[in-house]
Amino acid sequence: MYLIYKLLVYIAYPFLYIYYKKYSHSSNDFIDESFVLYKSSPFEFNPDKKILWMHGVSIGEALSAVNFSVFLNTNGFDVFFTVKTQAAYEILKSKGLKVIYVPFDV
């Protein structure tokens, strides 16, 4: 069953991208980052620090994690965020944090 799911997702992936690009009211950055298949990290990390990935779907969740991420960053962690909304993306970017839109799961 898992293989069938994976196969169907990979077949549907380009069609979903075209659909979102044509009919979605989301920004092009959201669509392009959501449909990217990362082969390596989009960020450069400090090799002396542990990497921590934090996810906030909305602006409230993302903002609630900002102070915690600053604390972690000063205590040996390199933190990056994934978000689903444009408002959360813009606020985290304005604070100088590493942030991308969460990619679709394949």
| Helix segments in 24-96, DSSP class H | 28-34, 59-74, 86-94
Strand pairing class (50-56; 98-101): unpaired
Could you read off the pLDDT tens digit of each residue along the chain, which spans 106 residues?
889 988 888 888 788 888 877 877 767 777 777 776 666 666 777 788 888 888 888 888 888 888 888 898 888 898 888 888 888 888 888 988 888 887 766 5
Beta partners for 100?
82
- Pairing relationship of beta strands 77-83 and 50-56 according to DSSP bridges: parallel
Q: What confidence score (pLDDT) does residue 37 get? A: 64
Instruction: State the sign of the Cα–Cα–Cα–Cα dihedral 74, 78, 82, 87.
Output: positive
Model-level pTM?
A: 0.69
What is the pLDDT at residue 41? 66
Identity (one letter) of the amino acid at 88? A
C-alpha dihedral over 44, 49, 55, 61, to 10 degrees? -120
Residue identified by tokens 């669509």 is: 31
